[in-house]
Structure 1
Amino acid sequence: MLTPTYPIRTARLVLRPFTQTDLDELHAFQSLPEVARYLYWEARSRQETADALEKRIAGARITTEGQTLALAVERTDTGALIGDLTLCWLSAEHRRGEIGFVFHPDHHGHGYAQEAAEALLLLAFRDLGLRRAVGHCDARNTASAALMRRLGMTLDARLRENQFFKGDWTDELVYAILEREWAAGRGTPA
């Protein structure tokens, strides 16, 4: 079970539950074709973003495996919503979860996604008690793959032509990090 104490603060960001007031800023990046390029959905209409926002609002905590925590990422200096994080509890027995991240392209290249994802891994390992966290991406999504490597995640698999994705057979990359690797990277005991 995971009910974070909100807001979660990092050096430059605030991670918090989504609210109805996030619709305009969430739609500002979910409606962009370049954001949806490697995601399982197309650029979203305002109504599709509103529907997605309802699911995110309901994801402020995890009570059972199979649920997904959804966090809004905003900049401390401007208050702007710049990203969307997810943590799915895949298995209680095996202590496995999956992380995900989507950021507005205007905020790429400043380390915000890494800063937010590091806070997400802290929740995954320290608070939810996971042993292993994974992340998936289309092999063409070099930015996401690079971020997962910077987080200390290791490429576990390249699933060749694993999915028919938006008209093409594509490779899927699976990255993973174990709790002990994460702790060692932070200089803390596992």
Structure 2
Amino acid sequence: MLKPSYPLETARLLLRPFTMDDLDALYSFHSRPDVARFLYWDARTREETRAALKNKIGWAELREGGDALNIGAELRETGALVGDLTLFWRSAEHRQGEIGFVFHPDHHGRGLATEASREILRLGFEDLGLHRIYGRCDARNTPSARLMERLGMRREAHHVENEIFKGEWSDELVYAMLRREWNPTAQPPDA
């Protein structure tokens, strides 16, 4: 079980559970086609974002394998919600997790997603005791692949045309890291 002591603090961010007050900020990036391009959902309407947010609010802790932890990333300086992170507890028996991240494009290129994702990895390895955490992305999603590389995750697979994604065959990349490879003191380059 994992119930983080919120807010989780990084140098520039506060990571915290979502609230209904986040609707406008979440909608500001979940509604964008460029954000949803490589996600399993299309750009969301305000009502679709509200429904997704209601689910996220209920996922503030991990009780058992199969659960998901959803965390909002806000700028410490301004309080603006800029990111949406998920830690999926894929298997309790095999101590496996998966990381996911979506950040507002207005905040890309500043290393914020890397900073927040490092904290999610820390939660998974140190607080939940996971053995392996992986991340997946469409092979065309170069920014996500680079982020996982900056985190120190190794590319384990390139699945060629492994699924029909939004009407076309798509390749998928899989990155992963083991607990013994996790280095909490490593300072990744900004990007």
TM-score norm. by structure 2 comes to 0.96
Deviations 1:68-107 (A, max 9, x none): 0000000001110000000000111110000000000000
Q: Which runs of 5+ in 2 are unaligned?
A: none
Aligned length: 187
Structure 1 ranges of 4+ moved more than 2 A = 183-187
Kindly report which structure 2 residues correspond to 1:1-190, keeping only aligned pairs within 5 A, or say none. 1-183=1-183, 186=186
* Matched letter for residue 168 of structure 1: E
Shift of residue 186, structure 1, vs aligned partner: 3.8
Contact 1:152-1:185 at 8 Å conserved across structures: no
Match of 1:177, as an amino acid? M
1:122-142 deviation digits (Å, cap 9, x = unpaired): 000000000100000000000
> Deviation digits for residues 25-57 of structure 1, max 9, x if unmatched?
000000000000000000000000000001100
> Residue 185 of structure 1: CA displacement?
6.5
Query: Unaligned regions of 5+ residues in structure 1, if any?
Result: none
Q: Cα distance, 1:168 vs. partner?
A: 1.1
Cα RMSD for the two superposed structures: 1.1
Alignment-mate amino acid for residue 147 of structure 2: L
Normalised by the length of structure 1, the TM-score is 0.96
Could you tell me how far apart the structure 2 residues matched to 1:186 and 1:42 are?
35
Q: State the secondary structure of the residue aligned to 2:62.
A: coil
State the percentage of identical aligned residues: 59
Provide the C-alpha distance between the structure 2 equivalents of 1:114 and 1:186, rounded to a whole number of angstroms. Answer: 12
Q: 1:184 to 1:9 in 2, by over 3 A?
A: closer
